[in-house]
Amino acid sequence: MDNTTQLLDAKFRIPGTRIKFGLDFLLGLVPGAGDAVSLAMSGALIATMAKHGASPMLVLRMLGNVVLDAIVGSVPLAGNVFDLFFRANSRNLRLMREHYNEGKHNGHAWPILLAIFAVMIAVFAGLFVLIAFVINELLKWAGAVVT
């Protein structure tokens, strides 16, 4: 999990600065599809953490981080800047480590996995509808005929 989180959030550094970024930021530069891929990768990380004993409350907190990242990250430019500093996957890994250190993991989380996938599908569908709506409105604004 450490390597995947590092790859998604802080694998690279902007030269001459201390600002790090990962694939989450780079994928966010691709409108729509990049955010969807990033969301799926974050969902897979949460599923892995749930499989290894994350409590339902912890999973909800992690989902909150990822959903916030997906929603704000879908805003052009501002979302990319947000991705540089919010780092949902690193936050989730830190939450999971604290959870393990406190001895709260239980090792059985398959019902939680089903809930995660249901929420991820709902968020993904919502983002898809939002992007389609925005594209349609932009086409209307540009004078294209959309039926």
Mean pLDDT of 11-18: 90
What pLDDT shows up at residue 46? 81
Tokens of 51: 């499989």
**Does residue 146 register a pLDDT over 70?**
no
Query: DSSP for 19-68?
Result: -EE-HHHHHHTSTTHHHHHHHHHHHHHHHHHHHTT--HHHHHHHHHHHHH
Q: For residues 107 and 54, which has the higher predicted lDDT (pLDDT)?
A: 54
What pLDDT shows up at residue 16? 92
**What pTM value is reported for the model?**
0.65
What pLDDT shows up at residue 110? 57
Distance CA 137, CA 124 (A): 20
Residue 32 phi/psi, 5-degree rounding, is 75, -70
Cβ–Cβ under 8 Å, residues 8 and 23: yes
Tokens of 47: 């599923």
What pLDDT shows up at residue 114? 64
* 37-84 pLDDT tens trace: 777 878 888 887 777 777 777 888 888 888 888 888 777 788 888 888
Cβ–Cβ under 8 Å, residues 125 and 117: no
